[in-house]
Homo-oligomer: A and B are copies of this chain.
Amino acid sequence: MKRNSLRIVEAALFSAGRPVSVDEICDATNLGKKEVTSAISSLMEEYKLRAENDDTAIEVSKAGEKYAMQLRAEYTEYGKKLSGMEVPKRLLKTVALIAYYQPVEQSEMKNMVGSSIYEHVRELEQMGFIKSKKHGRTKILELTTYFYEYFGFETTDREKIKEYLKEKIKRTK
């Protein structure tokens, strides 16, 4: 029975693909808190033992108050190329346009992107990349500090991103 809850928690950690809390695991698996906590310890031990013999490229580790299944540091470089981007392409395109035109009216963006702009704006706001303020019947969109941090800009370099993008256009002309 113990063995089994070990595998169930393993399944949960594998599926999540991100750090998850004990509560989240309980909720997803219908196991009790105690059972989950003990399963996590055993799993961490199991993967550690395997790692000692180089019998796995994976580890279970603590990340803050959460737990994650992830690649062992030695193997991360082989995973980079194949793992997916956390911002879907369609949103990346839209946020790139906003970065270039900002501050920009949502209605103007709609002319470029089409009516999916509303959905994109909602998602991008949720991700924390853009913020909007009401302006008459439309909204003005612009980038957040988080956006600059995410792409490694100093927040003081607001214009830099635009320059990067402009450069790109020049080169492709």
Which A residues have a C-beta under 8 Å from some C-beta of B?
3-4, 7-8, 10-12, 14-18, 20, 24-25, 27-29, 54, 56-58, 71, 75-76, 78-84
Contact = CB atoms under 8 A, between A and B. Distances in A.
Contacts of A76: 11
9 contacts: A7-B56, A7-B57, A15-B79, A15-B82, A15-B83, A18-B84, A25-B82, A28-B79, A28-B82
A3, A4, A17 — most chain B CB neighbours (10 Å): A17
Copies of the protein in its oligomer: 2
Which 8 residue pairs across A and B have the least CB separation, nearest first?
A15-B79, A11-B75, A15-B83, A28-B81, A16-B82, A11-B57, A11-B78, A7-B57
